[in-house]
């Protein structure tokens, strides 16, 4: 450096906003060489070079040292810069440069944005599952979340590349999540990596380190200050234990590798901390499952149809935690249609609260400048924030809870006769190599198709994948996803489709296609899907696919021939594997109205929650039995909009938001008109 100013600057992520009169804390590490005499100038500036605030630090030496300074902005600018500059000869080295507003949540150093925390607090959440889903395991073990690297001095925390394609600084770490849970009176639900990533696993001979991480995490959260990790928690500013009660072993892990790792973690945790409630990703045979975590991302129709999912659930089975769910198809960036369907699903969960003990929408937050997933509940940029319609649904349910679920019956008008399932057949694989043989389609006494592949592909046409006919079998050799062949016929109905199949290698099992009118509109029986963990029928409409009916645990072995048959009669679907009936259900259209009633014991109020998933007004006659008389007035809270595809935005943050009005004409038998595409909360009270 030979005179003048040399500077480095940072513009933040999609904006570094400063406000007039607001204070900011800056810190950085620095050392010097080559006779540098200082000082280092620190300033907040506009892109045009206008200085909003400035100060300087002195006594920079050859030894690394942390410097702190305070800045107060003289202007407002949403796109300011933090500038560090020098004008003296020599060399200066910088590390861990940080700038935070003084006004953070609870004015904590390195704290959270108050407006974002308020959005979360307004939901009145009971618990928080952290640090996330796929963020926990990472694409590979080298990128897995390790909680010990996220506590203490932020400058000493190790960054890591995460599955969503960026480096995480881990400034929001294990301790901060626990602190946020305490602040908002949420139960912390910690998800620990169990030695599994998307692409690899920790060998069992090295798994003890990961098991110890789980035990140490519990000690950090709950241990006394006389313990190693409890003492470190106290040193980090929190002597009182956080009282962690729940820990989840892994995220979306499954298969034999998960079975043996779950057992190791379960035994170790229960031996030392028997009071901890353990959440499993899938049903595990070798150890007890106290709570089972289920994740659902699908179409609006799937969520409507599955509002009855838990009505017939085995009450002797494990309790359910719906840890992640959201409408992710036909949802835009978070529209009314998605919110209405999710509300119907939540009504079903509330109706079965004896089974479904916990539920959490996901994901929660997104910076709109870097969307990696749609939708998210809370959208923000550098200065603004708004909630999607789904956010408002979550808020409505959380703020309007009953104590007792009342028996609720919804009586619908009978609609016209449904058309039968029609279409051709096919086979396929997903990241799997397999062979298929002896394909036959029979309609009553009539054979529609019979092919043994002795003369080539015959009526089958390849849609995707690497297919060949050899030795009287149809073989798929690619490891790609969604490899299919079809023999499409739009008019076939009421038939039985049988074949034999053998898995040669890969991750999953077989796709048995039926009711196919074209490659984007069909059904398939996914045998050994989802990492070879379960069987389920899926329906694809205009390229959008979702599960219909119940899924069943199951897997497919390699180098074994299976006898497979799918029977369709009208809209009834029956699926057989080696002669055993696996699925038997009707593909009925989703309901248009879903409802539940609960009672608040303390006040005697009755809450009626109802969804109208249609484009027409729905006139409902509401009959409440078991009470003599109701007060003539109540309250109606309605979430709706003109168009089911309406969304909120920074410009219109409340375009789709609940509206509260007085409800008149209330009695033990009264009428209520539900607007199209609406979520309706009615609150009535017994007259004394």
Say if residue 2's pLDDT is above 60: no
Model confidence at 454, pLDDT cuts 50, 70, 90, reads: confident
Say if residue 681's pLDDT is above 90: yes
Contact 388, 339 (CB under 8 A): yes
pLDDT in tens, 203-241: 999 999 999 999 999 999 999 999 999 999 999 999 999
Please say whether the structural domain 6-103 has been given the CATH code 3.40.50.1820.
Answer: no
DSSP letter string over 401-421? --SEEEP---PPPP-PPPPPP
Q: Between these two residues, 161 and 414, which has the higher pLDDT value?
A: 161
What does the pLDDT read at residue 488?
78
**Mean pLDDT, rounded, for 418-432:** 96
Model confidence at 1, pLDDT cuts 50, 70, 90, reads: very low
DSSP letter string over 34-73? TT----EEEEEE-TT--EEEEEEE----SS-EEEEEEEE-
Q: Read off φ and ψ for residue 633, nearest 5 degrees.
A: -125, 145
CATH domain 424-586 topology: Jelly Rolls (2.60.120)
Contact 457, 467 (CB under 8 A): yes
pLDDT in tens, 53-89: 999 999 999 999 999 999 999 999 999 999 999 999 9
Q: Between these two residues, 541 and 385, which has the higher pLDDT value?
A: 385
What does the pLDDT read at residue 14?
95
Say if residue 242's pLDDT is above 70: yes
CA-wise closest residue to 66 among 29, 21, 91: 29
What does the pLDDT read at residue 416?
65
Rounded to two decimals, what is the model's pTM? Answer: 0.90
Say if residue 581's pLDDT is above 80: yes
CB atoms within 10 A of CB 312: 9
**Mean pLDDT, rounded, for 639-656:** 98
Q: Read off φ and ψ for residue 147, nearest 5 degrees.
A: -65, -30
Q: Which helix (H) or strand (E) holds 398?
A: helix 389-399
**Mean pLDDT, rounded, for 21-28:** 98
Model confidence at 626, pLDDT cuts 50, 70, 90, reads: confident
What are the CA-CA distances from residue 364 to residues 324, 361, 518, 597, 655 (Å)? 10, 7, 37, 27, 20
Domain boundaries, the chain: 6-103, 125-289, 424-586, 593-685
User: Does residue 631 have a cis bond before it (omega within 30 degrees)?
Assistant: no
Greatest mean pLDDT range, 212-221, 412-421, 619-628: 212-221
Report the sign of the C-alpha dihedral through residues 149, 150, 151, 155, in that order. Answer: positive
- Assess whether the region 6-103 and the region 125-289 belong to the same CATH fold: no
What does the pLDDT read at residue 216?
99
What does the pLDDT read at residue 3?
54
What does the pLDDT read at residue 587?
94
pLDDT in tens, 481-504: 999 999 978 899 999 999 999 999
CATH class of 125-289: alpha beta
CATH class of 593-685: mainly beta
pLDDT in tens, 110-162: 999 999 999 999 999 999 999 989 999 999 999 999 999 999 999 999 999 99
Spatial distance between the Cα atoms of 84 and 27, rounded to a whole number of angstroms: 11
Kindly list the catalytic residues.
252
CB atoms within 10 A of CB 30: 23
**Mean pLDDT, rounded, for 425-453:** 96
Say if residue 106's pLDDT is above 80: yes
Tokens found for residue 129: 């599952």
What does the pLDDT read at residue 131?
96
């Amino acid at each position: 450096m030979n005179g003048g100013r040399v500077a480095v600057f940072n513009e933040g992520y999609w904006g570094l906003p400063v406000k007039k009169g607001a204070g900011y804390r800056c810190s950085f590490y620095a050392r010097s060489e080559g006779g540098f005499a200082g000082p280092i100038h620190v300033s907040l500036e506009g892109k045009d070079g206008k200085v909003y605030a400035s100060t300087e630090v002195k006594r920079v030496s050859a030894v690394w040292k942390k410097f702190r300074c305070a800045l107060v902005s003289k202007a407002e600018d949403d796109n300011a810069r933090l500038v560090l500059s020098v004008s003296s000869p020599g060399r200066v080295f910088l590390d861990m440069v940080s700038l935070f507003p003084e006004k953070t949540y609870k004015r904590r150093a390195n704290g959270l944005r108050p407006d974002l925390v308020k959005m979360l607090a307004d939901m009145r959440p009971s618990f928080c599952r952290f640090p996330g889903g796929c963020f926990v395991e990472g694409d590979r073990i080298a990128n897995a979340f390790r909680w010990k690297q996220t506590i203490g001095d932020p400058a000493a925390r190790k960054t890591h590349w995460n599955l969503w394609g960026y480096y995480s600084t881990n400034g929001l770490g294990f301790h901060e999540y626990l602190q946020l849970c305490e602040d908002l009176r949420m139960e912390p639900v910690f998800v620990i990596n169990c030695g599994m990533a998307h692409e690899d696993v920790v060998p069992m001979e090295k798994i003890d380190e990961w098991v110890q991480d789980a035990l140490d995490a519990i000690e950090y959260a709950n241990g006394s200050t006389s313990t190693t990790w409890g003492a470190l928690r106290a040193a980090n500013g929190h002597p009182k234990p956080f009282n962690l009660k729940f820990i989840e072993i892994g995220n979306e892990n499954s298969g034999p590798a998960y079975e043996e790792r779950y057992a190791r973690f379960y035994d170790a945790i229960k031996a030392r901390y028997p009071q901890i409630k353990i959440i499993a990703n899938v049903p595990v045979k070798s150890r007890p499952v106290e709570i089972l975590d289920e994740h659902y991302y699908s179409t609006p129709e799937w969520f409507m149809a599955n509002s009855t999912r838990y009505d017939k659930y085995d009450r002797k089975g494990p309790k359910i935690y719906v840890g992640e769910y959201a409408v992710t198809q036909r949802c835009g960036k978070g529209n009314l249609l998605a919110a209405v369907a999710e509300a119907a699903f939540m009504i079903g969960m509330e109706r079965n609260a004896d089974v479904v003990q916990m539920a959490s929408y996901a994901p929660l937050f997104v910076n709109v400048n870097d969307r990696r997933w749609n939708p998210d509940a809370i959208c923000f940029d550098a200065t603004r924030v708004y909630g999607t319609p789904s956010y408002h649904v979550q808020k409505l349910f959380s703020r309007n809870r009953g104590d007792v679920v009342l028996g609720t019956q919804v009586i619908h008008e009978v609609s016209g006769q449904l058309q039968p399932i029609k279409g051709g057949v096919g086979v396929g694989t997903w990241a799997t190599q397999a062979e298929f043989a002896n394909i036959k389609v029979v309609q009553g006494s009539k054979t529609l198709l019979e092919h043994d592949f002795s003369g080539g592909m015959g009526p089958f046409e390849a849609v995707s994948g690497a297919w060949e006919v050899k030795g009287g079998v149809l073989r798929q050799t690619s490891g790609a996803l969604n490899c299919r062949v079809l023999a499409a016929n739009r008019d076939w109905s009421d038939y039985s489709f049988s074949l034999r199949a053998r898995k040669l290698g890969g991750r999953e099992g077989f796709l048995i296609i039926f009711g196919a009118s074209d490659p984007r509109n069909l059904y398939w029986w996914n045998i050994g899907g989802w990492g070879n963990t379960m069987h389920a029928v899926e329906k694809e409409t205009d390229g959008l696919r979702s599960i219909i009916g119940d899924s069943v645990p199951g897997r497919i072995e390699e180098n074994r021939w299976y006898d497979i048959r799918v029977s369709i009669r009208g809209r009834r679907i029956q699926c057989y594997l080696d002669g055993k009936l696996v699925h038997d259900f009707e593909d009925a259209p989703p309901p248009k109205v879903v409802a539940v009633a609960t009672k608040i014991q303390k006040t005697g109020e009755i809450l009626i929650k109802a969804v109208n998933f249609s484009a027409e007004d729905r006139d409902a006659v509401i009959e409440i039995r078991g009470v003599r008389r109701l007060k003539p007035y109540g309250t109606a809270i309605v979430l709706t909009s003109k168009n089911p595809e309406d969304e909120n935005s920074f410009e219109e943050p409340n375009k789709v938001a609940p509206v509260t009005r007085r409800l008149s004409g209330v009695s033990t038998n009264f009428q209520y008109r539900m607007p199209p595409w609406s979520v309706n909360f009615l609150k009535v009270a017994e007259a004394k």
